[in-house]
Amino acid sequence: MTTTVTSGQTTDVRTRMEETRAFVRGLMEKKVKPEWLRTMDAEGRTPDEIVEVFAEHGLLGLTVPGDFGGAGLGLAEYCAAQEAVSRSHPVLSILLSSTGGLAPTAINRFGTPEQKEKYLPPLTTGQSRTSFALTEAEAGSDAAAITTRAERTADGWRINGSKQFISGAESADLFLVIASTDPAKRGRGLSAFLVGRDTPGFQVTRIDHAFGSPAWTLAELRFDDCVVPQESLLGELGQGLKVALSSLNEGRLSVASICLGGASYLVEAAAEHAKARTTFGAPLASRQAIRFMLADSVTEIAAARALIRATIEDIEHGAQAPANASAAKLFSSEMAGRVADRAVQIFGANGVTSDSVIGRIFRDLRVFRIGEGASEVQRMVIAKELLGKEVA
């Protein structure tokens, strides 16, 4: 019996995603104890026991090549795993992304052999995690407006500036930092750097908790004459925007999958509650209004799943598909909001208490209409693809 997640190289995207989803969901149900998930919310941290289970069964470093100890899986399996873990707790998606998401993918694509050998293997064992540091106070969706500055020194680079709303920073050991090396060139003057947590001049200065689970944190980073060696440069000089955007499709499809997982849990929980809850002498599920809410949720979840899968298939066949990835992220994140709202309505007062899992997931999922590109940005990408670049 398979004990680690694997890829069926000769099967189609649908089959690979279904197999991965089933494996990870079974793993979550059998190996991850409910009290560990409660610890996440009570103490605002991911228990070491969960990290150990994920490492043992190949969920850490999912996309890291086998030569560096990872599972070497593709986008289909990665998204299916994100969906499955998010059914149990959306915050667990950060554990997968910090070891197999944006930063690890960038290192694998743009790193030197030495950088790959140094940074990728520890991600697969739980010894190390990464964080992707791009957003600033005045530069979120507009990456070209980044003001964090990296200036060349005799031995490397001196970084000054700050980053905000950085996910996973409280537990990260390695940060992929996008900084300006030529401000006059704006977006074409950005470069990517790998900065260790213990680098002098670098600090995680503030950690904010999102309004869902306390385990969901967003940090502020500061760089005060933070000097890094020349070999910290990831990719070519001035290639930072390319590095940042190279995994954009994967990141947006990952978020879409996280929303899909959370929404799937909510509709199933709402259906079970509706069957068990009795009002006016009959199950809540017998009410047409409740049935319609559940039916709408199931339909939208199916549409999101189909859109995610179709986009992954296009990418695997060589398509760039930025508008499709944006559409998947846009629809799935807003779909999850509607499904979550209906679930809270069906649970009634049980859905709005401070310790309600339904209410907590409702709040967790709301983050994704902003993170990884707000819904408005996704609409801009989709419209630009439709109308053409010549339309202002």
Adjacent-strand bridge partners of 131: 175
Q: Is 1 exposed, middle or buried (0-12, 13-18, 19+ CB in 10 A)?
A: exposed
Q: For the chain, what is the mean pLDDT?
A: 94
pLDDT of residue 9: 56
| Nearest alpha-carbon partner for 196 in 219, 172, 220, 160 | 172
Contact (Cβ atoms closer than 8 angstroms) between residue 120 and residue 104: yes
In angstroms, the CA 306 to CA 323 distance is: 15
Phi-psi region of 163 (alpha: psi -120 to 50; beta: other; left: phi over 0): beta
Helix or strand holding residue 74 (H, E): none
pLDDT of residue 303: 98
124: pLDDT strictly greater than 60: yes
Domain with residues 130-237, CATH architecture: Beta Barrel (2.40)
1: pLDDT strictly greater than 50: no
Q: What tokens were used for 391? A: 């339309």
Domain boundaries of the chain, sorted by first residue:
13-124, 130-237, 247-387
Query: Which segment of 2-6, 352-356, 375-379 scores lowest on mean pLDDT?
Result: 2-6
Looking at residues 278-304, what average pLDDT do you find? 97
188: pLDDT strictly greater than 70: yes
Looking at residues 276-299, what average pLDDT do you find? 97
SS3 content of the chain, % helix, strand, coil (to 5): 55, 15, 25
383: pLDDT strictly greater than 90: yes
Instruction: Give the model confidence (pLDDT) of 333-352 as tens digits.
Output: 999 999 999 999 999 999 99
Looking at residues 136-160, what average pLDDT do you find? 91
Q: What tokens were used for 226? A: 């933070």
In angstroms, the CA 327 to CA 344 distance is: 26
Q: Is 345 exposed, middle or buried (0-12, 13-18, 19+ CB in 10 A)?
A: middle
Torsion of CA 157, 203, 46, 132, to 10 degrees: -30
Checking DSSP bridges between strand 149-152 and strand 190-196, what pairing results, if any? unpaired
| Nearest alpha-carbon partner for 259 in 351, 362, 167 | 362
The catalytic residues are: 372
pLDDT of residue 8: 56
Helix or strand holding residue 130 (H, E): strand 130-133
| Structural class in CATH, domain 247-387 | mainly alpha
Domain with residues 13-124, CATH architecture: Orthogonal Bundle (1.10)
Count CA atoms closer than 13 A to 149's CA, side-chain side. 10
121: pLDDT strictly greater than 90: yes
